[in-house]
Amino acid sequence: MTLSLRERRRQETARHIQRATLELAMQSGLENVTTEEIAVASGVSARTFFNYFANKEAAAIGHPPNFSEEDKDVLRNGTASLAADLKLLLDKQIASMAEDEELLRMVGRVLRSNEKARGILEGFLMAERREIADCLSHRAINHHTAAALAKTVTDTIGGAIYLWEHDGNMSLGTALDTVWEGLIDASRTLSLPAD
Interface residues with a second copy (CB under 8 A) are 81-84, 86-87, 114-120, 122-123, 140-149, 151-152, 155, 159, 163, 178-179, 181-195
Would you give the end-to-end CA distance of the chain in angstroms?
51
Residues 43-102 that bind DNA (CB under 7 A): 44-48, 50-52, 54-56
Which is nearer to DNA, 35 or 178 (by Cβ)? 35
Residues 4-43 that bind DNA (CB under 7 A): 4-6, 9-10, 13, 33-36
CB 57 within 8 A of CB 111: no
From the CB of 71, what's the least distance to a second copy, in Å?
Answer: 19
Which is nearer to a second copy, 44 or 110 (by Cβ)? 110
- Which secondary structure element, helix H or strand E, spans residue 12, and what is its range? helix 5-28
Q: How many residues interact with DNA (rule CB under 7 A)?
A: 21
The one-letter code for the residue type at 127 is: A
Q: Give, in degrees to the nearest 5, the angle at Cα 89 between 117 and 58.
A: 15
Q: How many helices (H) and strands (E) does the chain have?
A: 10, 0
Largest CA distance in the chain: 61
Residues that bind DNA (CB under 7 A): 4-6, 9-10, 13, 33-36, 44-48, 50-52, 54-56
